Amino acid sequence: MAEAVDTRWPVREVPAALRARYFAERWWTDDTLGALVDRSLQGAPGSTVNIWSESRPWRGTYAQVRADALRLAGALAEAGVEPGDVVAFQLPNWREAVVAFYGLAMGGYVLVPIVHIYGHKEVRFILRESAARAYISADAYGHVDYCDIVDGAAAEELPDLELHVVVGSCAGEPRTGVQRVAWDALAQTDAAEPASGVNPDDVCVLAYTSGTTSDPKGVMHTHRTLLAELLHMRPMVAAAPPNLMGSPVTHATGMLGAVLSPMEIGRDIHLIDRWDATRALEIMLEADIGAGTGAAVFLASVLDHPGFTAEHARRIPRIGLGGAPVPPALGARAAAHGIAIIRAYGSTEHPSITSSTFDDPAEKRHGTDGRPLTGVEIRLVDADGTPVAPGEAGEIWSRGPDLCLGYTDPALSADAFDDDGWYRTGDMGVLDPDGFLTITDRLKDVIIRGGENISAAEIEEALAALPQIAEVAAVAAPDARLGEHVCAVVRLAPGVGSIDLAEITARLEQVGVARQKWPEELRVVSDFPRTAAGKIRKVDLRQQLRTD
């Protein structure tokens, strides 16, 4: 066993009986993420990592990636960033993102993957709250200038940051106290040895996700919980052919589905940095792989494309979808092409709660979110926490070996977990007589657009400052391509005749809200449906948007 448990974060206590069960059933062992990565890369040295990028294409072997990853770990150690320190990385689906993930894991660092589309506001918050000592990023990508995230920060915004590793170059100088190193210089660094003495009960990944709060929430996964999740994913990944992954490796879906699960079974990895259905169809034929796994938008974009043929369908005999709502109609469309889909339900906090299997009937695979996975328990309860009758809708509570150990903010953990280890998902669902779960609504104030969580509170907080608006609610509207998009429902201030979507988005741009979070729909109402206490009933707003 390794040394004492890291006490920097207030991880929740797992009840002794659950802990004993997870060990007895071999969900939990003394393995660590870094050891698994090292063992897997060495076990399949000839397997390949394929980056299908127009700007930074690359193809190399697991052996090459491992060597680069250990050089990164060596460079961090040389700069004074020690194993156990927090290192954040924000990169598109490039070779450097894969190298960073594996290198930080083998080096014994606490990984903080940051989705590449997050901008100044979110990233500075994450770097500050996680106490990251190092930050690995591109210089710029899309609408985000990562150099300015560091260079333009006030001293109190990034008090712990000491090192900025940049893929590319920055024109300005980093702020005082931060050393900047070019990624290309790492090639000259001596490789580190994989870290030893890592405690499997320690936090290994801080995964920041948007949700009910205006700032991202830091989800704490230990080596044990993350490796338990890989046990859940192994049969699902093995049952489907290799796939082109469009989800970012810095998002839970891409992290698990692109860089960890394929690696564990020694499979070739295929990543694309900008999802484009035309290019995806070309890659499918060139590489003889499938495409469309993850959020429903990826598969829908492929099926919708006029260039989709039977040759493409043949390469997707089976595919898993999750991370965002999956319209039942998409399953029927896929089936018409001979493609079997399964739906899975989970979150960054609890990645695998339910799933169907490819042996289940089509109506279950298309119309439900599956049954609880082995080792996972769920209960459906009313507002008082009392279990509801079979067939009735209730809030979903879950627990299992892959459930996170809470949030970096203890107050959030206290709201989300009880003393018996149950996680209050904030999602509503109903169980059918066969034990299949269907998600029916959401208590959590979050919109899931193309697999990315968007905080309704963040949108509302920014828009409430507009003088034209008396009251605003941001809610999820159904979207055939993305699953959901943001709809801003507003009540105008007295004397204001109208407001348009351009005024809404201009305000969000002004305060630095990332573009993918902007509302794509605007509704003006004279008043809102309300509870007896006067609170806006978002469940009614969402229902209205579904039926219009």
pLDDT digits over 39-77, tens only? 999 999 999 999 999 999 999 999 999 999 999 999 999
- Closest by alpha carbon to 256, among 290, 222, 233? 233
pLDDT for res 1? 37
pLDDT for res 285? 98
List Cα–Cα distances, 335 to 285, 292, 319, 321, in angstroms: 20, 14, 11, 14
Look up the CATH superfamily of 29-222: ANL, N-terminal domain (3.40.50.12780)
pLDDT for res 340? 96
User: How is the chain split into domains, by residue range?
Assistant: 29-222, 452-547
342: number of Cβ within 10 Å:
25
Query: What is the spatial distance between Cα 159 and Cα 364, in angstroms, rounded to a whole number?
Result: 51
The three-state (H, E, C) secondary structure of 74-101, written as one string: HHHHHCCCCCCCEEEEECCCCHHHHHHH
pLDDT for res 446? 78
Tell me whether strands 423-431 and 437-442 are parallel, antiparallel or unpaired: antiparallel
**Which residue numbers in the chain have pLDDT < 50?**
1-2
What are the structure tokens assigned to 216, written together?
Answer: 């991202």
What are the structure tokens assigned to 133, written together?
Answer: 């000592």
pTM listed for this prediction: 0.85
Look up the CATH superfamily of 452-547: ANL, C-terminal domain (3.30.300.30)
